[in-house]
Amino acid sequence: MRSIVRLLLMWLVCGMAAAQAPPPAGAPPDMPAGGPPPAAPRVANGLALTPPMGWNSWNRFGCNINETLIRQTADAIVASGMKDAGYQYVIIDDCWHGQRDAAGNIQPDATRFPSGIKALADYVHSRGLKFGIYSDAGERTCGGKPGSRGHEYQDAAQYAAWGADYLKYDWCNTGTEDAHAAYLTMSDALRATNRDIVFSMCEWGTAKPWLWGETIGNLWRTSGDIYDHWQGKKAFMLGVLDILDLQADLYPYAGPGHWNDPDMLEVGNGGMTDTEYRAHFSLWAMLAAPLIAGNDVANMSAATRAILLNRDVIAVDQDALGAQARRVWKNGDFEIWARPLKGGARAVLLLNRSAQAAPMTLQLRDLQLPDALRVTLRDLWKPGSAPIRMKGHYTTTVPSHGVALYRLAIVPESAL
Ligand code: GLA
């Protein structure tokens, strides 16, 4: 009995001491006294209820960026119709940085961004778009610029003051840092700003962020960097099919507010055929992937524009259910992927990875649907075409390195 009383007393004294304790050494100045609040279940930030859409400078321009390019791209996103189709975040990737000032505040590269980041964000906002910025959890970014390590709260406050709506947070030069802890720190720093900032975790999948990212960030990279090729690996980079194969088992982890990110789009960057780009775009839509264009929007071809602006395909990506497609059938180079859509329809994709065009057959039983069911297929790459009525199975020719993409709807009994 006496030991229980002693335990209770100790618990009381320790609790009071903790309540009066100063912030832990090295804690950010805006962290409440006594350290972080007691562990309540962490909740998501409520953003990105459908996969984020926008444009990012990296895939096409790398470090060769400046404020004129970003402004012109924002203009082109509006003029081309991309904004109306849903592309909203204009994201500057690596290499916008200069050095930190004497107080540790990060400054932009004064030659490339002479008007400053706030003016640029204001311009992007004035076009009805949102503004995104980039940093890194390590000492340096992948491009060798100052990273946010040890400056997380200061940087988050700076981005918020500039008007950022999106942060891509990279993973170069992180040494022995723990990914979960590092992304949690920046997530908390972003929340402390009280600004809505989508958090894009660019950890490349090494620490399996899909297992812990749901309440920390809104999207997480699942692989190394995409490069503008249909298939193949080069150093840290992977082609479209190589990335696709890494996504096949990750469907349980995607949903409104938290998405697997197979990396940004290469559509229009010149390394693939238009057929391959249509397949890349369709596959990313099936995967409920963020649709972050990475091309030179101000100078894109009509074919590139037609791909990026296909509203039927975008609607698959942006479906409110947020269910990532599963690979439901595979035979060598031929695959069928399917995802349920809100309201009972499905998106179905036939993929031909081979070097020749080939007939492919969709069987309703591959979708766990009865053979006797009557359904319609709307070909999403033939906008305006009449829906195909089918029962049991349907055969079509799929181009080499290409897809056929359908919206499948069950014909109601009353319409039979
Ligand atoms: C990493 C990322 C890329 C890009 C570059 C910038 O490789 O994965 O998406 O941000 O860094 O240096």
Per-residue DSSP letters for 13-47? HHHHHHHHPPPPTT--TTSPTTSSPP-PPP---S-
From CA 369, how far away is CA 409, in angstroms rounded?
12
Residue 41: other Cβ atoms inside 10 A: 5
Residue 141 half-sphere exposure toward CB, CA atoms < 13 A? 20
Q: What phi and psi, each to the nearest 5 degrees, are found at residue 148?
A: -95, 0
- Distance (angstroms) between ligand 1 centre and the Cα of 171 equals 9
Atom of ligand 1 nearest to the CA of 93: 10
Does the pTM surpass 0.85? The reply is: yes
Q: Is 170 a catalytic residue?
A: yes
* Contact between 306 and 336 (Cβ < 8 Å): no
In tens digits, the chain (416 residues) has pLDDT values of 444 444 333 443 333 333 334 444 444 544 545 555 567 889 999 999 999 999 999 999 999 999 999 999 999 999 999 999 999 999 999 999 999 999 999 999 999 999 999 999 999 999 999 999 999 999 999 999 999 999 999 999 999 999 999 999 999 999 999 999 999 999 999 999 999 999 999 999 999 999 999 999 999 999 999 999 999 999 999 999 999 999 999 999 999 999 999 999 999 999 999 999 999 999 999 999 999 999 999 999 999 999 999 999 999 999 999 999 999 999 999 999 999 999 999 999 999 999 999 999 999 999 999 999 999 999 999 999 999 999 999 999 999 999 999 999 999 877 76
151 φψ region: left (φ > 0), alpha (ψ -120 to 50), beta (else): alpha
Count the helices and strands in the chain (H runs, E runs).
Answer: 11, 21
Q: Whose CA is nearest to atom 3 of ligand 1?
A: 225
* Contact between 203 and 223 (Cβ < 8 Å): no
Atom of ligand 1 nearest to the CA of 236: 7
* Contact between 339 and 113 (Cβ < 8 Å): no
DSSP assignment, residue 264? Answer: -
Q: Which amino acid is at 282?
A: S
* Contact between 272 and 280 (Cβ < 8 Å): yes
From CA 290, how far away is CA 293, in angstroms rounded?
9
Of the listed 94, 136, 165, 170, which one is catalytic?
A: 170
Over the stretch 370-393, which tens digit does the pLDDT of each residue have?
Answer: 999 999 999 999 999 999 999 999
Q: Which residues' Cβ are closer than 6 Å to ligand 1? A: 58, 93-94, 141-143, 170, 202, 225
Q: Is 93 a catalytic residue?
A: no
∠ CA 326-330-334, rounded to 5°? 110
